[in-house]
Copies of this chain bind each other. A is one copy, B any other.
Amino acid sequence: MIYTYLGPAGTFTESALLQIPGAADAERVPATSVNDALERVRDGAADAAMVPIENSVEGGVSATLDAIATGGALQIVAEALVPITFDLVVREGIESPAQIRIVATHGHAWAQCRGWSELNMPEAEFIPAASTAAGALAVLDPESGVDAGICSPLVAQEQPVTVLRRGVEDNTGAVTRFVLVRRPGSLPAPSGRDKTTVVIPLPEDRPGGLMEILEQFAARGVNLSRIESRPTGAGLGNYFFSVDTHGHIDEARMADALAGLHRISPDLRFLGSYPAAGEALIDVPSPARHNTDEAFAAAHEWIESLRRGG
């Protein structure tokens, strides 16, 4: 089993991948972009790719949403949630943030820890590093002049560095959602707490299009946990919607809702049914009696008996 992921090593994406059973001992190949990761899966160079799909601060990760919505078919088989939190690691001899003069990290990490840094290490000058791991490693090199790095807990744990402070990010509580993507194949069995992801082109450029789509879910009591609009690239006003719902395609109400969607938007793309991560984060009510598998089966049998002639 070969895994790829949005690199470099030590990012939150690798943390997400390590939540997958078996991934810690498998081959893990960093990719340079989401597209790169997905192409490796499509062409068989990797068996599965972990990529970010949704960020509690920035919203849907457009690169991922677009890359799995087009091109060769792919299938989401798992999801993972990773809290976005940063550690401050320091060279030997630094005992307080106020002593730090030079801090090295990736620009993205710096942007997310700037407020804390200005408050706690006002003298520190920021030096951009190729990755947060590279910044962290610089503190081990006496010649670098670097006093501190800001990196993910994974990097801090894997490298022989000293953590001075944990949680130095400005926006505490941020979470990124990642999905594990494979070539289409058999679906994960229903777990009772599943998500189903679909990509739905607006049937036409008409007013009620989106409402018709939402009604397919609402009419069967299928809840949405995420909806993102993305341009199709065919001109202003042309959208597709990327939607996460609670439920599994093996459940009758989900299958019925997807069948309804297929009728009004036949080019929709099914991206998988898979176990939901983050038990505490979602509270999925049981379906109403009339949306249970039993109700669907009873209705189906009734129709069949009528068609046979009572």
Contact = CB atoms under 8 A, between A and B. Distances in A.
A286 interface: no
Given A211-B211, A225-B237, A237-B226, A263 B303 contact: no
A302 B229 contact: no
Interface string A176-214: 010000001111000000000000000000011011001
B309 A187 contact: yes
A55 interface: yes
A75 interface: yes
Interface in A226-248: 226-231, 233-239
Contact of A56 (B214, B225, B229, B235): B235
Count identical subunits in the complex: 4
A185 B306 CA distance: 9
A253 to B, nearest CB: 9
A185 B215 CA distance: 36
Interface SS, A side? mixed
B175 A236 contact: yes
A44 interface: no
Given A259-B300, A259-B303, A229 B231 contact: no
A59 B211 contact: no
Nearest to A304: B255
A219 interface: yes
A258 interface: yes
Nearest to A57: B233
Interface stretch (A3-11, A14-22, A144-152, A291-299): A291-299
A160 interface: no
Contacts of A227: 210, 229, 239
Interface residues of A, number: 71
A281 interface: yes
A307 interface: yes
A296 B207 contact: no
Contact of A281 (B234, B236, B299): B236
Contacts of A262: 295, 298-299, 302-303
Interface of A: 54-60, 62, 73, 75, 81, 171, 173, 175, 177, 184-187, 207-208, 210-211, 214-215, 217-219, 221-231, 233-239, 249-250, 255, 258-260, 262-264, 266, 270, 281, 290-291, 295-296, 298-300, 302-303, 306-307, 309-310
Given A262-B295, A262-B302, 18 more contacts: A56-B231, A59-B231, A60-B231, A175-B236, A207-B217, A208-B214, A210-B224, A214-B214, A227-B239, A228-B229, A249-B303, A255-B307, A259-B300, A260-B299, A262-B303, A263-B296, A264-B290, A270-B306
